[in-house]
Structure 1
């Protein structure tokens, strides 16, 4: 296992170039395909690379603007890698990217966001406390708002190496509120394996009535979660999820209130990473 872990940084360079797929009825609006030389930072015109400890959810990691934690593979992928590090508070470093790009789902259209993701090859039994995620926050959080009023849509989260993906909505107030914080409104789906899978969310504003608008989650084209305006039943809260500017987050957290902390079996490094082939938005 340790031998394979140290081989992994070389292998992705053998992968052919990735590109966001053509999707029938949609046009590509924005994408990052993570092209570039291996062992370099992601494109900082597109991403804020977080550097520091965020002190959220009782997580252990300190995020670093370092190619040790957030790097281009050289094979047109991004690798976010958690490492044990006794020099930092919490004992772990990791990678987190937040997009400078923002988007607002448009009236009378469908807007689609998507990423292709795989997980490192460490055995599932060695991933206690590892928490990769592809998610969205309302841009108001950066300017004047608080959480969860800003709105949060978790497109994909998985914990402890378990082959279960979660899609969750956080909104309104904490604790309680419309989204039952801190749990949120969640759906789940089984993940076939730790290999490449496509995670998608679609905002449908084609009905002309906010109560019948929907937000829907998919893995590899299979729907596993949906919310609609009438379920939220509050225009202001619904607005934070579908009428307001949004931005992407890619990260690997370590420990925290949900997964619990790593144990003596937890391995770090490339075998515990999240790897991303592209992130893209589309619109009809």
Structure 2
């Protein structure tokens, strides 16, 4: 949330502009949202994990949240903090049940409303606890099952729902952002079918974390849109690896990862050597919506709530099973073609290429292979390399294509290949790709004007 005022939660204006220009169409091939009831309790912790906080939002319809666990943010700023919550948003936050309430079916509703004079109100709550962080050598997972406000198009102009966290030193200071850190687990604007996740840190503007944009990534909801159904949004902060990292998930699929070595040690320590608290809110207007058309305006429909089924915090002291594991591939190291997560039309065979092992073969028009969780980091990849061989007949050739997050997305790069001298006559072929950052599911797709097999693939990787 980077605010131009240097306050919390200025949702990345600059990042949003970049997204408009370059990445709005990117979609992580996230697992379909679970077809479970709207009121589902927080799941039991996986083996090796311990639940340290949860709220299923059970209670009578029309009642407020449990103030033993939550506190309301009211007005248009923190006491002594920047106006309009530092983001330019236009609503007044209240503790009234018209804006923040339980629905009687195990859900929290945060509902923006507009009065007869055109003034907006909404709700913003945060945990009283500020100690959420992983133990040394362990992991912290913060997740919530949410349906975004079910409104799209012009009626959604200005809507800005979010599920996020701020570093504990912010509470009571309100002017030390972004150095104390901010973790945006889910942000959305304008009713778009897009989930943004971001780490804010360092100094603003600019600095090691590219403020006011932060270090962000985005994906889309699949199965149902973010607005039409419930999806699970999660952050996993991992101190069990050699390099500390923070991973963001949508429906169990890791679509964005930030590692400690992406910034200097002091910046990382200032952002992470303390606890965090959790925030839910629905803002109206501000810098992030402004980057996608602005609002709210006369066509914006009030009364559409963000619905939160549960929120849960888990931790492990080390050795726990990450729920659920997926991907964790390095884009800049060789990805063995036979290590696919799923495929259609391919076969594996022993290769005589250097290093041995297997390749995937029998590849023809319409075949594909999926490799989940490929991490490109924050420095854009611009090259794709694949180790290929072909014994295709004269006149038979095709394209090896790279697509991100969905086979339906346009290729970000491709190269043509025909006969290389035999099905085990290997060569490394380069191709340019559009600038890729963050973590994505990578599809290799194979397209040809002929029905015959035209290529084998041993491995592939990416370069800057």
TM-score bracket, shorter-length normalisation: 0.7 to 0.9
1:13-32 pair list within 5 angstroms: 17-24=39-46, 25-32=48-55
Show CA shifts across 1:141-160 (max 9, x none): 11446111110010000000
Counterpart for residue 180 of structure 1: 210
The CA distance in 1 between the partners of 2:271 and 2:107, in whole Å, is 28
The CA distance in 1 between the partners of 2:149 and 2:181, in whole Å, is 29
Counterpart for residue 269 of structure 2: 239
The answer to whether the 8 A contact 1:49-1:65 is kept is yes
The CA distance in 2 between the partners of 1:116 and 1:240, in whole Å, is 29
SS in 1 for 2:266: helix
Counterpart for residue 107 of structure 1: 136
Give the C-alpha shift of residue 123 in structure 1. Answer: 3.9
Counterpart for residue 312 of structure 2: 280
Counterpart for residue 123 of structure 2: 95
The answer to whether the 8 A contact 1:86-1:92 is kept is no
Counterpart for residue 158 of structure 1: 188
1:25-44 pair list within 5 angstroms: 25-44=48-67
2:113 pairs with one of 83, 93, 101: 83
1:1-284 pair list within 5 angstroms: 17-24=39-46, 25-54=48-77, 55=84, 56-85=86-115, 91-102=119-130, 103-144=132-173, 146-192=176-222, 193=225, 194=227, 195-207=229-241, 209=242, 212-232=243-263, 234-259=264-289, 260-269=294-303, 272-284=304-316
Show CA shifts across 1:152-174 (max 9, x none): 01000000000000001111111
- The 4+ residue runs of structure 1 with deviation greater than 4 A are none
Counterpart for residue 10 of structure 1: none
Give the C-alpha shift of residue 33 in structure 1. Answer: 1.1
Structure with higher Rg: it is 2
Give the C-alpha shift of residue 32 in structure 1. Answer: 1.1
Give unmatched runs, 5+ long, in structure 2: 1-36, 78-83, 317-464
The answer to whether the 8 A contact 1:153-1:241 is kept is no
Larger RCO (alpha carbons 8 Å, 6+ apart): 1
- Change over 3 Å in CA distance of 1:16–1:254 after alignment to 2: closer
The CA distance in 2 between the partners of 1:143 and 1:235, in whole Å, is 25
The CA distance in 2 between the partners of 1:243 and 1:140, in whole Å, is 10
SS in 2 for 1:258: helix
Give the C-alpha shift of residue 57 in structure 1. Answer: 1.3
SS in 2 for 1:168: strand
- Change over 3 Å in CA distance of 1:92–1:186 after alignment to 2: same
Counterpart for residue 382 of structure 2: none
